[in-house]
């Protein structure tokens, strides 16, 4: 159940811009959002200078998001063995120096080492190489991750959810959009903030129930495990245009 709305900002499911200079074409596929609330101060202390928590109802929200990633480069065809892989990220929601809302990633697990190296050196986001699986059986989705580098085998995640009925656009609340409709990512380079845009159509979202959850990715990010059940959404996915990064001011 969504909390009462108290923040003045309205969160739209529609992307507010067009990415003209496309660095990558991606497909974010078979994706589950799991979110927990945390005290704002507990999350703020983990952010780099220049970013502030974008709270909702007085809380910071931290997401665990497993899915299957497909990447294509402009003017390059599909290369499944290199650019198709499971991914899981741990994230929170922030505003940058100019007030732009966006995502800060505490960690991103990926099953392709080449993708890990590329993302770390270009977008400067904390990717880790992991052994991962994404599988669907009927209305059940299963995700698993075990970090290979660094600290192999110590950081793991297992998620199993049951996919329910789809939401109509009129069913979704502002809080649902706050948790899912995000168009900017932040990274750091030499102590300076980077940002990049991601454009896609509104998320098709489904009601979802957690069947099993055993995760320490959130704890590895520096946060205590939550004692409350997560707020959960599932999506079959969206096609995404990702722009080039630039320094945030």
pTM above 0.85, yes or no: yes
pLDDT exceeds 70 at position 242: yes
CATH number for position 72: 2.40.400.10
Confirm whether 237 is domain-assigned.
yes
Query: Which among 239, 236, 241 has a CA at the least distance from the CA of 31?
Result: 236
Query: Which among 153, 80, 85, 146 has a CA at the least distance from the CA of 119?
Result: 85
Confirm whether 1 is domain-assigned.
no
- Regarding predicted confidence, which is higher, 83 or 12? 12
Confirm whether 8 is domain-assigned.
no
Expressed as residue numbers, the domain containing 157 is: 22-243
Confirm whether 35 is domain-assigned.
yes
Query: What does DSSP say about strands 184-189 and 156-166: parallel, antiparallel, or unpaired?
Result: unpaired
Confirm whether 184 is domain-assigned.
yes
Our CA angle for 10, 95, 12, nearest 5°, is 25
Confirm whether 95 is domain-assigned.
yes
Our CA angle for 17, 20, 23, nearest 5°, is 115
Distance CA 128, CA 57 (A): 32
Number of domains in the chain: 1
Confirm whether 238 is domain-assigned.
yes
Query: What does DSSP say about strands 156-166 and 140-149: parallel, antiparallel, or unpaired?
Result: antiparallel
Banded pLDDT at 4 (limits 50, 70, 90): very low
Long-range contacts of 114-122 (CB under 8 A, 24+ apart): 114/82, 115/69, 115/71, 115/82, 115/83, 115/85, 122/245
Confirm whether 56 is domain-assigned.
yes
What's the pLDDT tens digit per position in 171-200? 999 999 999 999 999 999 988 999 999 999
Residue 208 contacts residue 161 (beta carbons within 8 Å): yes
Query: Of the ranges 65-74, 80-89, 156-165, 169-178, which one carries the lowest mean pLDDT score?
Result: 80-89
Provide, rounded to the nearest whole percent, the portion of the chain with pLDDT above 90.
80
Query: Of the ranges 9-13, 39-43, 137-141, 148-152, which one carries the lowest mean pLDDT score?
Result: 148-152
Residue 188: strand, helix, or coil: strand
What's the pLDDT tens digit per position in 44-76? 999 999 999 999 999 999 999 999 999 988 876
Query: Which among 42, 40, 31 has a CA at the least distance from the CA of 95?
Result: 40
């Amino acid at each position: 159940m969504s909390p009462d709305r108290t923040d003045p900002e309205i969160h739209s499911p529609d992307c507010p811009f067009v990415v003209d200079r496309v660095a990558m074409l991606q497909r974010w596929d078979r994706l589950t959002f799991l979110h927990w609330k945390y005290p704002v101060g507990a999350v703020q202390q983990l952010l780099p200078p220049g970013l502030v928590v974008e709270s909702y109802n007085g809380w910071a929200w931290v997401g665990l998001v497993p899915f299957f990633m497909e990447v294509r480069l402009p003017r390059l065809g599909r290369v499944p063995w290199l650019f198709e892989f499971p991914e899981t990220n741990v994230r929170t929601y922030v505003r940058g120096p100019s007030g732009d809302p966006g995502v800060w990633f505490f960690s991103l697990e990926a099953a392709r080492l080449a993708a890990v190296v590329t993302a770390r050196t270009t977008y400067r986001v904390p990717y880790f190489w992991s052994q991962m699986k994404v599988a669907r059986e009927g209305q059940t989705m299963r995700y698993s991750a075990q970090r290979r580098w660094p600290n192999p085998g110590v950081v793991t995640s297992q998620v199993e959810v049951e996919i329910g009925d789809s939401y109509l656009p009129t069913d979704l609340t502002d809080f649902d959009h706050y948790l899912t409709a995000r168009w900017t990512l932040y990274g750091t380079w030499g102590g300076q903030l980077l940002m990049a845009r991601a454009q896609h159509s509104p998320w098709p979202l489904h009601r979802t129930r957690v069947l099993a959850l055993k995760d320490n990715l959130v704890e590895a990010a520096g946060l205590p495990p939550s004692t409350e059940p997560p707020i959960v959404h599932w999506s079959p996915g969206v096609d995404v245009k990702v722009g080039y990064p630039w320094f945030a001011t």
